[in-house]
Chain A
Amino acid sequence: MNIVVLVKQVPDSGSERKLDPADNTVARASADNVINEMDEYAIEEALLVRDREGGEVTVLTVGPDSATDAIRKALSMGADKAVHVVDDAIHGSCAVQTSGVIAAALQQLEYDLVLCGAEATDAQLSVMPALVAERLNIPQLSGARKLTVEGGMAKIERQTDGGYWAVEAPLPAIVSTWDTINEPRYPSFKGIMAAKKKPVETKTLADLGLDAGSVGLANATSKVLDFAGRPPKGEGVKVVDEGDGAQKFVDFLASQKIV
């Protein structure tokens, strides 16, 4: 079974994240960049499926040179090889354009199953599995909290607010995963050392047969026009207890529609 995991490098959600005022794109150069947290669950699930079914796990990422750190992390967890699409023209691409790049890269790979995180912590659009599925004309199973692969079918429990849906689709298919699906492993010392020697293939737009005009900020289907920082925190409300503190407190919560 050949499994491809889509991995994205994002600014660490635990640190300060900024947009670059020059072109309103994510400021990646100054950020503490890490592998998208949800993608670690997709990688772990890919490794579990591979260990059961055999085959190879390939990591696919689209991003600047620095995204090699995210690739190394995935390889040190146990993925077998990686493809890194890197091209300056991709900078500022929207999700629709990026899905075209990912789909083109996938078409040059053999895959039975594509896995990805259900969302990235930077843009949080959660549209990539649907976009890629549409472009490749394969089924998408989104938001999995459980995955089983058998008899040429992928079956998932699709997580919902109140429970789950049991959904299945024939392979090849794309499955996105939530953080309820497994517990990602720590890269072990051996895994870290082995990652150095695993093959990472770098591809440009030209290698994928794509025109630079199909991507990039200038041609994006959506753009960030303006942005503003979070307003500073207000003073807050002080409740003075004059024997009626509890009532005032509840009134406040009610006024905020908390209770």
Chain B
Amino acid sequence: MSTWDTDERTALRASVRRFAEAEIVPNLGAWEAAGALPLELHRKAARAGLLGVGFPESAGGQGGTPIDTWVIAEELIQAGGSSGLVAALFTHGIGLPHLIEAGDPALIEKVAKPVLAGERIVSLAVTEPDGGSDVAGLTTRAVRDGDEYVVTGAKLYITSATRADFFTVAVRTGGDGAGGISLLLLERGMPGLTVSAPLQKMGWLCSDTAELTSDGVRVPVGNLIGTENEGFYAIMGQFAAERLSLAVQAYATAQRCLDLTLAWVRERKTFGRPLSSRQVVQHRVAEMARQTDVARTYTRAVIDDWQAGEDVFRQVAMAKNTAVAACDFVVDNAVQLFGGMGYMRETEVERHYRDSRILGIGGGTNEIMTEIVAKLLLA
């Protein structure tokens, strides 16, 4: 038995699967068409005790470790959810940690508790139109004026932004570079803060994404998250969790597509025989299984080491690229083996094919991950 399938985590998987089958699978198509998840799903997930896992009880969470949150993500995807659904329903997984770590009781009361109760939504806004992965170079400015900061700048590709009540926004409060960055809590309705129409994406259709524009938004200094000019380090501190989270979504998506493909090739007959009787197909699914298994085993091993406090910055980057490559291979071959059916919107592997394309882009691209590995190897 590993840390991933203790009795408690097995029971947690059973609860998550039941929740997914009852609340998510029958509705996911409609949410994809609508372009967003209903707030009611957040409330239901909170009532089922899923939303707060991985966050301390003092902040309105359920306790537990990151592994528990990833057991939930794995099972949601493997029960018929999707990485897009995980991104939209658990946006607080990237939007809240800095705020909770900073520990300001007023902000925890105002933001963390209602978000973990499923009543409010929080987004993380770091990426800028001219930036991408270059966090240290961000240009949104926050200028102190009395008891307020005045914020001006634009943020792009902000997950759940059209629904969010709160935004954890990375701003420049100091000089150039990593040392001048802070995190500020912006709130829907603040004068000068506008959220664009939903951006039209290739995948993650149930997850709304938008641009956030701040034009002289006045933010009380009480909304500063953590210490001024130390925001870069707070963001950096969450990089490992974000990348590992994407790696988990990648291998879980691969596992789901493998499961769907195995069922399909047994059932689908061509020229009078099931697809599974063809050696080409047999070898293909064997390779899909190998890559999925290796990605999961390696990613989980890195997570276990990370939880044990080891320095795994390089391994995290390698895990993300390994899992993303496995997922890319598996979703592509799943669609291929499903044939014409795999190209249809009604077919689940088609959704995973589109959804998974972002996994090698978000949270640091494949190329950035490789760059990190190379730098650390040759340092």
Contacts and interface: CB of A to CB of B under 8 A. Distances in A.
A189 B18 contact: no
A229 to B, nearest CB: 24
Given A186-B15, A186-B18, A191 B49 contact: yes
Contact of A186 (B7, B19, B68): B19
Contact of B48 (A72, A73, A76, A186): A186
Interface string A176-203: 0000000001111111110110000000
A196 B6 CA distance: 12
Contacts of A195: 11
B131 interface: no
Interface residues of A, number: 14
B8 A196 contact: yes
B49 A76 contact: no
Contact of B50 (A73, A185, A189): A189
Interface string B181-201: 000000000000000000000
Contacts of B53: 189
B49 A72 contact: no
A5 to B, nearest CB: 18
Contacts of B8: 192-193, 196
Instruction: Give the one of B11, B19, B48 with max A CB within 10 A.
Output: B11
B133 interface: no
B64 interface: yes
**Secondary structure class of chain A's binding surface, majority of residues:** helix
Interface string B203-244: 000000000000000000000000000000000000000000
Contacts of A188: 15, 48-50, 62
Contacts of A192: 8, 11-12, 15
A189 B63 contact: yes
A191 B8 CA distance: 10
Contacts of B64: 189, 193
Given A191-B49, A192-B12, A196-B8, 16 more contacts: A72-B11, A73-B11, A186-B15, A186-B18, A187-B49, A189-B49, A189-B52, A189-B63, A189-B64, A189-B68, A190-B62, A190-B63, A192-B15, A193-B8, A193-B63, A195-B11
27 contacts: A72-B7, A76-B11, A185-B48, A186-B15, A186-B19, A186-B48, A187-B12, A187-B14, A187-B15, A187-B49, A188-B49, A188-B50, A189-B50, A189-B52, A189-B62, A189-B63, A189-B64, A190-B62, A191-B49, A192-B8, A192-B11, A192-B12, A192-B15, A193-B8, A193-B63, A193-B64, A196-B8
